[in-house]
Structure 1
C-alpha cells in the first residue's frame, strides 16, 4: 500500500534545546509514514518536555498526514510531551480546524514581525485530496439524488415508523458518530433496526470480521423488522439528509466509526481522502460478505483510483440491482 520511502528527511534538530521537526511542503502518505516513524522513534528514545513541528513550508496535507499527526499526538500524551505546531499556513489551519486537531494541539500564533492578513475560513482553503471532492457535477448529482431520496423516504416514512414501533417500542431513528472526509466527524442517521440498548451490548457480541470494523451475521440485537430494513437497505434512507448536507455522497467509501479510525495505521487513512458514500465498491462487491478489513481498504482505494462521474453512475445502477438480488442484503 505504501511505495518507496520519500526523499524527505525527518531528522530532528535542536533550537534552544528544543527539538524541532521540519515538515515538507506536502504531507501525503509516503511522507506521513516516514514522519510518524521518525517522531515516534525520537519520543521513545529521548526524554523531552516539548517537541515542535515546523510547518512553515507545508501547504498541503491529506488524510494520511492527519493520521500521522493523530498517531504522534497519542504517543506524545503517553510520554507527557507537549506538541507545538509552528508556522501553520491557512490551508493547513483549515484542515486542523475541520478535524478538531486545533483543539488538542498547541499552535503558535504567527510571528509578530510577519505581515500577515487574517484569512477568513473557507471551503476553498481545504485541500483537494481527490478530484471527486472538488467536482461540482458530482455535488450536483448528490443534491438531486438526495432530494429524490428524501421524497421516497417521506412516502415510506409512515409504514416504516409503524412497523418499528409495533415490533420494538423506542426511538424511530438511530444516530451514530462517523468519520467522513479527512476524518471530520459527523452524525449519521438511520431508521432504527436494533434494540434500544444495542450500543451498550456491542461488547458482548462476537465480531466475525477481522480488522478495524464490526460484523456479525446473526447479531441478536437486530429486531425482526430491522432485518427486513437491512435486507432492503431501507434503514439507510435517512442518510439522504447527510448527503444533502454535504457530509456524505451518494457514492464513496464506507464511513467508519471513530473507534475504527483509532486503530488505523497511517496508510489506511487514505480511504478518508474522499467523502463517504451511501454506496460504493464494498456495497456492490460482497456487501456483508466482506469481513476482512484489508478487503475494505482494497475496495475503497480501488474506488479512488477508478473514480469518474460515469463510474459513480455505474455503481449506483449496480447498487439498485444488488438490492433485488437474493442474499445480497446487509445484516
Structure 2
C-alpha cells in the first residue's frame, strides 16, 4: 500500500496543474514566435524545431515542479529520457508538448501537456494531469488515486467530477490517431476493415483524424468522442495519464495486442526505459463501443 494520503495527492495535483499552466502559456507564445525554440538543440533530432520546443517546454516544466514540490523525484521525459536513481520518493512521466509538430505549423486542433506521478516504492499510480494546450476554454483533466477523475476549464475553475455517459449514442463519433500518411499506410488493412464495418453498421456515425492522442482520450472521458483508435500505439509518457483519467471516469482502454485492459502501471523492478519506450496500440472510449471494435479486430 502507498503511504500517500488524500490531502497530499490533492496538493501534488494542484502544484502540478500550476506548473503545467505556466508551460501552457510559454508554448502558446511559441506558436506566434517559433524562432525562440531554436535556442536549445534536442538530444533526439538536433535540426528539428519541434523537438527543440519540446525540450524547452520539458525543462521549464521540470524547473517549475522542482521549485514547488519539496521532494526529490525521478522522471522520464520524452526529450530528456530516464533520470532515476532508485531511491526517490516520487517518479514522474512527462510529455511536455504532445503535438508540437502540428502546433508549430499553426494547426491548433491538437496539443496537450501530460504528467503522471508514481510512488516508485509501491509502484502505485498516484495522480495524473492533462492540460489542453490550444483550446480557448483552457481545459484541464485530472485523476487521483482512490478519488477519481475531474475536469475544469476557464468557466469552471474549480475541478468538477468527470463521469462518462453510460448509454451509447445513436450517432457515435469515432476518432483515429493517424495524422501521418506513413503510419496510416502501415496499418491500412486494419484501419480500412474497421472503418468499413463502422460505416456499414452505423451510417450516422461521424469520423475524425484530428481529435487524437492524450486530449482525445480525455475528451472521450466526457463522451465527446465515443471511441478512439490508436493503431500506431502510444508510449508510457503519453498514454498512462490520459488512460487513467478515462478509466476513472468510467471508460475503457483495451490493448490491441492482447485484447485485455491496457495496463496503467510501471514495474519499477524491471527495465524502466524499455517499458516506457514500448508502443502500445489501443482503443479507448465508451465501454460499449470499445467492446464492439475489439470484437471486430479479433475476428
TM-score, L = length of structure 1: 0.26
TM-score, L = length of structure 2: 0.28
**Structure with greater helix percent:** 1
**Structure with greater strand percent:** 2
